[in-house]
Chain A
Amino acid sequence: MTSLLFLIPIALVMGLLGLVAFLWSVRSGQFEDLDGAGARVLFDDGQPLPPPVPPPSKEKHLE
């Protein structure tokens, strides 16, 4: 039973870490725009955008 003396505090600390992380993410506004965050990751490639090439057919929708 002495193992409990380690395991329970460890479980509690891990849970608390999760809670703190969640509260921090709420505070820093990461839940403000759930729709946008999903789309943003697809476009933000972090690189300069491709040079403007005359596109042959603009009316191409990616479905």
Chain B
Amino acid sequence: MTSTKAAALNLVTDHGASLGCAHCGQPVAGEGRFCGPACADAHALIHDLGLDAYYARRDAAAPTPTGEEAAPLDLSAAVETLPDGSHCLRLLLDGVTCGACVWLIESALRREPGVMAARVNLTTRRLSVTWSDAVEGKAERLAGIVRRLGYRPAVAGMDGVGDPHKQAERELVRAMAVAGFGMMNIMLLSVSVWSGHAGSMGDATRTLMHWLSALIAIPIVAYSARPFFRSAFNALKAGRTNMDVPISLGVTLATSVSLWETARHGEHAYFDGAVMLLFFLLIGRFLDARARGRARSAAEHLLALGRAPVMMLNDAGMAVPTAPAQVPVGATVLVATGERIGVDGTVADGVSDIDTSVVTGESHPQPARPGDRLFAGMVNLSAPLRLTVTACGEGTLLAEIVRLMEAAEQGRARFVALADRVARSYTPVVHAAALTTFLVWVLWVGLAWQSALFIAVAVLIITCPCALALAVPAVQVVATGRLMRGGILLKSATALERLAKVDTIVFDKTGTLTLGRPDLLPDPAIDMVDLELAATLARASRHPLSRAIARAAGPGPVADGVREVPGAGLEWQGPDGPVRLGRRGFVGPVRVPGGLIEGPELWLARPGRQPLRFTFADAPRLDAVAVVADLRRRGYRLALLSGDREPVVAAMAIRLGIADWRAGVDPAGKAAALAAMKAEGRHVLMVGDGLNDAAALSAADVSASPGSAVDVAQTAADAVFQGDRLAPLAELLEVARRADRLVLQNLGFSLFYNLCAVPVAMLGHATPLIAALAMSSSSLVVLGNALRLSRRREVRT
């Protein structure tokens, strides 16, 4: 079952062919065993290496190799020379789905001479290969093997070793382990003390037990509570208070008062309570950090896959793959057909059509001639170009966008997380209650101040916000995990809270509501025979319009000897004469019917017949209409802000039923429109993918972008959703609303628990046993409530 599901995910069209490709399982046209030469190559490589067992072992279909489409990688940043003289290559891999993939890649790489170790991490999808010899081009060769097997390698942006998040996570694991060890051992001693309260345990033994507990507890508190102490200290230094202040205070007081009691041979000590509190809180912190870390690394993975090097001409006139940041001003860069431009520059040579939608939102390709300025992110459609790199730093479009983003973020009110707002009012109340307890016992009842202080500390311990501090992270962990399974990466800690408040959703058009790629428009004048003929030519080309035709026709044969005329089209010597597929002038004189809609087009010319016109448009995502209707039904106000021309935007708005739309908006205009909406008191979710949306994404209350977005947009967005569908967005909002409800329930329960426990403690009845029971039971209730979120309430359409 999994194989068919995974295959369907990779598929664009499913014609239900009987037996799929022997490698990737996709339907095969004709009689061959493979759907394309890339699959045949991967299969042959696996077979030659004697790794055929892969096909029996995998539990998901193999990724479809992309073949020659693969852009060259600049591997210099990924190779590291180890102290012992060997070399290590670290790559991110796309397409690794199961254990068999891991086994296949590792086995294939280990067969290479000189390779000492190859290891694929299935969780983070990172590969590290070590080899001993210093052969030139070895790294490229190893990456080539991975690519031939059908996996897409990418160079990771940042190394995992120096990552501060990773280090914080490790510190939390260690602190949690130490606290867990301490809790169990102290509990062992405490249980015997509690059972000895009936009278069977002598004072001396009890004090011994308490001393032993103190011996364990004090170093453990000193070690494991450091994350809380640090955070509390920073908050107090900044004149604020957060949840860590009462936690730190509670733990410190509980430990020191217990120590004092132990020294006085007292009956009660709270060492167990203090360490248990730490352990529970550390579990919550750790799960929270790990869930966020996973989402962040997945987001980084997406970015790394999109980060392609540019082909720079060096002094010798050779094209070398270079990272865009390292290309100097004045260098010449080659841009192949269908490639995304990596740097800002002017056209030095070549004539082509440029898809500028990522930068301007304009969906109609623009012509580019020598001297025209092009920006990073645009896609070169029809012919190879040579660019001269013009600007770097302040002069680039990217710098302009970043300035806009910074301005937008300054205007964005600092959002205070719910937990911190609760802590702000909770902390003074609790401390006032403890002080009141102390004063009342001393002044009113006339108790000795030592005993009164002990009762006051008991109040602080029992109100120590264990359940309260778990209430929010527990829900967030479950929500992050659930969203991640649905292909949504939540990057910001407070995004869920901000999403739950959203009442207005603003969409970008190109690339967000649409897929940002041309699709063939259905036309009754085109019959299947013509389409198939066009497709046999188109399959040989990487041009986006050719691909659209190939997609529409489904898998099929490729014509032999198709010649690609750069900037014009495709030509094939058919049995009856030349067949041409391309732009107007290329196929010969054509009759253009009146009232044409401007848009991308291709013409098909066959011997003896009228040229046939194919038109293309950027179609909305498959489920866009349904999702937009669903969001409107749920009461969200929807708006469409696009940089595209008015007729296109209007048509899309009418089709999706969005009444509030604006066309031709520039990046600053988008940010300003969002600021205006926020000034009306609306809470805005911005969904966008382009460079022109980045400022708006920062300006909105909360933002999301599809996984295909440019990296600036993905970095600015709070959530990134993957796949060709818009449904994750609805899921995101739904989960946020439910998470918000659960957080409120959890907070309500914790406060209710405190309301019940505080009088008991104030009256002096809070023994360590009661404190331990109350603390663990309330934490379990809160965790159990949070877990309800992982259950899916309904089946997604």
Contact = CB atoms under 8 A, between A and B. Distances in A.
Most buried by B among A19, A22, A26, A58: A58
A46 to B, nearest CB: 13
A52 B50 contact: yes
B123 interface: yes
Contacts of B20: 59
Interface string A12-44: 100110110011001000011111101110111
B174 A26 contact: yes
B177 A19 contact: yes
B391 interface: no
Given A12-B185, A15-B181, A33-B122, A49 B53 contact: yes
B124 interface: yes
Interface residues of A, number: 36
A55 B52 contact: yes
Interface in B39-70: 43, 47-48, 50-53, 55-59
Contacts of A53: 52
Contact of B121 (A26, A36, A38): A36
B220 to A, nearest CB: 10
Given A43-B100, A43-B102, 19 more contacts: A1-B205, A12-B216, A15-B181, A15-B185, A23-B177, A33-B121, A33-B123, A35-B122, A38-B99, A39-B122, A40-B103, A43-B103, A49-B53, A52-B48, A52-B50, A55-B55, A58-B52, A61-B59, A63-B3
7 contacts: A26-B174, A32-B124, A39-B103, A42-B57, A43-B103, A52-B48, A62-B57
Contact of A50 (B48, B50, B103, B124): B50
Interface string B10-23: 00000000011010
Contacts of B19: 59
A46 B684 CA distance: 57
Nearest to A48: B50
Nearest to B96: A36
B103 A26 contact: no
B55 A60 contact: yes
A16 B173 contact: no
The B interface, classified by DSSP as helix, strand, loop or mixed, is: helix
B98 interface: yes
Nearest to A37: B122
Given A19-B181, A33-B122, A43-B103, A61 B47 contact: no
B187 to A, nearest CB: 11
A33 to B, nearest CB: 4
Most buried by B among A34, A59, A63: A59
Given A19-B181, A34-B123, A35-B122, A42 B99 contact: yes
Interface of A: 1, 4, 8, 11-12, 15-16, 18-19, 22-23, 26, 31-36, 38-40, 42-44, 49-53, 55, 58-63
A59 B58 CA distance: 11
B188 interface: yes
Contacts of A63: 1-3, 59
Given A1-B205, A36-B121, A61 B177 contact: no
Contacts of B98: 39
Contact of A44 (B25, B51, B103, B184): B103
Contacts of A50: 50, 53
A35 B96 CA distance: 12
A43 B57 contact: yes
B170 interface: yes
Nearest to A53: B52
A36 B19 CA distance: 30
Nearest to A19: B181
B684 to A, nearest CB: 37
Nearest to B120: A36
A23 B99 contact: no
Contacts of B631: none
Contacts, number: 95
A19 B50 contact: no
B99 A36 contact: yes
B50 A59 contact: no
Given A34-B123, A39-B99, A49-B50, A61 B3 contact: yes
Given A53-B52, A60-B55, A36 B123 contact: yes
Contacts of B178: 19
Nearest to A31: B173
A43 B50 contact: no
Nearest to A7: B188
A47 to B, nearest CB: 12
Nearest to B160: A32
A35 B123 contact: yes
Given A36-B122, A44-B103, A62 B56 contact: yes
A63 B205 CA distance: 60
Nearest to A36: B122
A39 B177 CA distance: 26
Nearest to B52: A55
Interface string B54-94: 01111100000000000000000000000000000000000
Nearest to B121: A33
Interface string B773-793: 000000000000000000000
B212 interface: yes
Contacts of A18: 181
A42 B58 CA distance: 11
A5 to B, nearest CB: 9
B390 interface: no
A11 B186 CA distance: 11
A37 B12 CA distance: 33
Contact of A23 (B56, B57, B174): B174
B49 to A, nearest CB: 8
Contacts of B174: 23, 26
B396 interface: no
B256 interface: no
Contact of A15 (B120, B124, B184): B184
A43 B99 contact: yes
B252 interface: no
Q: 5 shortest A-B CB distances, which residue pairs? A: A39-B99, A36-B122, A52-B50, A19-B181, A43-B103
Most buried by A among B48, B99, B178: B99
Contacts of B107: 49
A32 B121 contact: yes
A33 B573 CA distance: 54
Contact of B99 (A31, A40, A55): A40
Given A19-B177, A19-B181, A33-B121, A59 B102 contact: no
B262 to A, nearest CB: 16
Contacts of A15: 181, 184-185
